[in-house]
Structure 1
Amino acid sequence: MLKYIIKRLISLIPVVFIISVILFSMLHLMPGDPVRMMMPENAGSLKDPAAYEKLYEETKIRYGYDKPLPEQYVRWVGRTVSGDLGFSSMDKKPVIDVISVPLKNTLVLNLLSTVVSFFLSIYIGIISAVKKDTFTDRFWQVFSLIGISIPTFFIALSIIYIFALKLGWFPSNGMPLMPNDGSLAYYRELLRYLILPAFTLMVGSLASTSRYVRNAMAEALSQDYIRTARSKGLSERVVIYSHAFRNALIPVITVVAWSIVGMFGGAAITEQIFAYNGIGRLLIDSVLARDFNLVLSLNMFYAVLSLSANLLMDIGYALVDPRVRLD
């Protein structure tokens, strides 16, 4: 198994290299001058054109923009590997400091959404498959179609209108105003702000994942080996979970892995609507501000996240079906 994982990790290296080259090259084609964006805030007050140009050249040299593009790329890779993600022109401080808090917030939001959505999807999918063509199955089928069809922003606005504006149960947007002192009161307040955006992310993921689980389980339950297991007198619980569910795991692993990536992607819209301080909202702001280093770092994060999900998916396949390791 370890040999298989190492093999998969090595195969990701050229993929990461190609993605990084593409992102680095494309972002250099963004409109605007990153050097001017990184100049001190008082640079615009310089009335002497010569003094302004001198400051411009100093800033260009300081951040390495005077070097050829290939050399800039090599220097950027070297800094990134050492943990230096560059300087944010939008916040006027290192990128690593800019993204640390939003990244933690997004991880908390997505972890809550993913865990709850995963277990609910498995449960709903299995129940729907076991009770195929009953009212329960049809109800969740309709829910899945609605959840998949409705855009994320509409779900978010509807949730805000019902639970925040009409019922007043939760805050409509923002983050807790009280400082993070590690107290129970702070985490209780944080949970109040998390519930609506987490519920928004859950709806789409729950709808799609439960539908795939239901279809995979329904197909597994129709196989001959299931009838054989039942004819041997095995309990329905053992037949469902030990035989049918195990063989339905391959497509389920695929959907769950990509739904996690989809949640992070969908978080950009959700965080913007709920004014939640996460990396999705930060990415939108950095693009609008033409913050080269911040946009590059966040895009690489999403790329590595997708590749990590793909790696975990392959490992999951190998655990469920050992024959995969021989391919």
Structure 2
Amino acid sequence: MAAGVTPRGVALRALRLVSLLVAVAVGALLLVSASPVDPVRAYVGADVAALGPEQRALVEERWGLGEPPLQRFLAWAGNLLRGNLGESQVYGEPVTTVLLDRAAASLSLMAAAWLVSGVLGFGLGLWAGVRRGRVADRVLTWWAYTLASAPTFWVGLLLLYVFSVSLGWTPVCCAAPIGTLPGEAGLLERLHHLVLPALTLSVVGVSPVLLHTRQAAIEAMDSDYVTFARAQGERLPGLVLHRVARNAAAPALVLQLASIGELFGGSLLAEQVFTYPGLGEATTQAALRQDVPLLMGIALATALIVFAGNAAGVLAHRWVDPRTRTAVAA
């Protein structure tokens, strides 16, 4: 059986997941119900003034807008148990279809950013830790702390101005050339439009991995086994590759897996900056137009992604650290 994976641990995690989804669903509905935005006005738009009482009643009946929040929640929960997330008011399609279409774009963006930020952060963190106190360490540490406090949308706007507006190297927006559907665009065209949003998320995500890897590398360089290896004549490249990197890889991997939820939140902001057709754009449209079924579906999908990332981080920690392999699953 995998490290830390027991029937009791699986049952506890399943119970936590169910309770998390219930809490997220209730909280999302309460927030939407407390919104001052008129759902009929948000749905109809500028033509709401032309609606008569009968037409307004039809719209409310069509989407259940006139029902009490508790009744709406129970009806939605009953449909959810049957595998039906409802129909999106904005897109006129089943919520499941909208989520799957939009998630494909968001997940490709997140995967590229996750891989680049992990590899770059680990490599730079090793370099900074091994060169502790030198110019390279100071520059990288300052850069990491600066980026750690920088909002994702600010970094995205800065990169957009530099690479798209000033240099003209990357597209200004979208996941495909304007006038072309994403499914009709070629692979190189999609990658070209993916570069800048992924770079934005990567630049922001590098900071925590770099700082944690740097600290782990410093501790490894100060350890007795590295001191003994140096006394035996082992040179720095071998020390870093065979001893320091192996010990620093564990916290970097755990942190990178646990940051999937944060990466997902950052991707929502990056998608707004670059008008990237992922879950971020769908979330904004659903919020502005009070699309309750889509908002509820996105809230559940977000909770699942965050929960999966945190669970993967815990399991990875138990796998890479032998001292925790006998621990009872929490």
Does structure 1 retain, via aligned residues, the 8 Å contact 2:175–2:277? yes
- What corresponds to 2:35 in structure 1? 30
Amino acid at match of 1:174: C
Gaps of 5+ in 1: none
Which SS does the other structure have where 2:290 is aligned?
coil
What TM-score do the two structures reach when normalised by structure 2? 0.83
- What corresponds to 2:6 in structure 1? 3
Change over 3 Å in CA distance of 1:20–1:229 after alignment to 2 = farther
Does structure 1 retain, via aligned residues, the 8 Å contact 2:60–2:66? no
Does structure 1 retain, via aligned residues, the 8 Å contact 2:251–2:317? no
Change over 3 Å in CA distance of 1:240–1:12 after alignment to 2 = farther
Q: 2:21 aligns with which of 6, 9, 16?
A: 16
- What corresponds to 2:273 in structure 1? 273
- What corresponds to 2:285 in structure 1? 285
Change over 3 Å in CA distance of 1:281–1:223 after alignment to 2 = same
Gaps of 5+ in 2: none
What TM-score do the two structures reach when normalised by structure 1? 0.84
Shift of 1:87: 1.8
Amino acid at match of 2:286: S
- What corresponds to 2:169 in structure 1? 169
What CA distance in whole angstroms lies between the structure 2 residues aligned with 1:140 and 1:82? 52
What CA distance in whole angstroms lies between the structure 2 residues aligned with 1:38 and 1:181? 28
Change over 3 Å in CA distance of 1:53–1:278 after alignment to 2 = closer
Residue 59, structure 1, aligned to residue 62, structure 2: yes
Residue 192, structure 1, aligned to residue 192, structure 2: yes
Change over 3 Å in CA distance of 1:234–1:11 after alignment to 2 = farther
What CA distance in whole angstroms lies between the structure 2 residues aligned with 1:200 and 1:30? 31
Amino acid at match of 1:138: R
Shift of 1:312: 0.5
Which SS does the other structure have where 1:88 is aligned?
coil
Change over 3 Å in CA distance of 1:96–1:263 after alignment to 2 = same
Change over 3 Å in CA distance of 1:53–1:272 after alignment to 2 = closer
Amino acid at match of 2:307: L
Amino acid at match of 1:215: Q
Shift of 1:274: 0.9
Amino acid at match of 2:6: K
Count of residue correspondences: 320
Residue 147, structure 1, aligned to residue 147, structure 2: yes
Shift of 1:220: 2.5
Paired-residue identity, %: 27
